Amino acid sequence: MSTTENEEPPFITGSPSVELSANRTSLSFERTRMSADRTLMSIVRTSLSLISFGFTIFEAFRQLKNSGGLPAGGNAPAVMGISLVSLGIVLLTLGITSHMHFGKSLNSRRGRLYQWNLLHRDISYSVTPTFVIAFLLLAIGVVAVIFMVGRALL
């Protein structure tokens, strides 16, 4: 069986056992990458809960206060709402940073294995939709805090 320029050789080192090991290793990298994305998704989910709950507390008590349902004075609900949104932003920032560092580390490990001819090709993992959503949520959270602080000062 001959190979053309576009085809990969049948075995990395001519050994079926090394080939099987390389395939298992490649699949292991894929599973690890998907696991990292699932972890980021859980961080996004938790941050979204904190941001939305904090904003809801802030707005609900502000509306109640403006309608006369609560006595004037006391900013505890506003502080609580801003604190929850800020906590969601901090959690999301830490999660995004951790995800980026882990992705770079994973790319580096895979690159080393490729250089040692233990993998067929070097795949560099790119930005995932989860990562994009995390950044969008971070931007929404920052805008929410700015809005809330501006409203609290009025």
Q: Contact 78/117 with Cβ under 8 angstroms?
A: no
| For the chain, counts of helices (H) and of strands (E) | 3, 0
Q: Are 135 and 93 in contact (CB under 8 A)?
A: no
Query: Does residue 1 have a pLDDT over 50?
Result: no
* 22-42 confidence digits (pLDDT tens): 888 888 888 999 999 999 999
Collapsed DSSP state (helix, strand, coil) of residue 3: coil
CB-based contact 92:138 (threshold 8 Å) = yes
At 142, the pLDDT band (50, 70, 90 cuts) reads very high
Q: What does pLDDT average to over the chain?
A: 87
Q: Are 107 and 124 in contact (CB under 8 A)?
A: yes
What's the pLDDT tens digit per position in 88-97? 999 999 999 9
The predicted pLDDT at position 11 comes to 59
**Can you give the pTM of this predicted structure?**
0.81
Fill in the amino acid letter for 137: L
Angle between helices 76-115 and 16-66 (to 10 degrees): 170
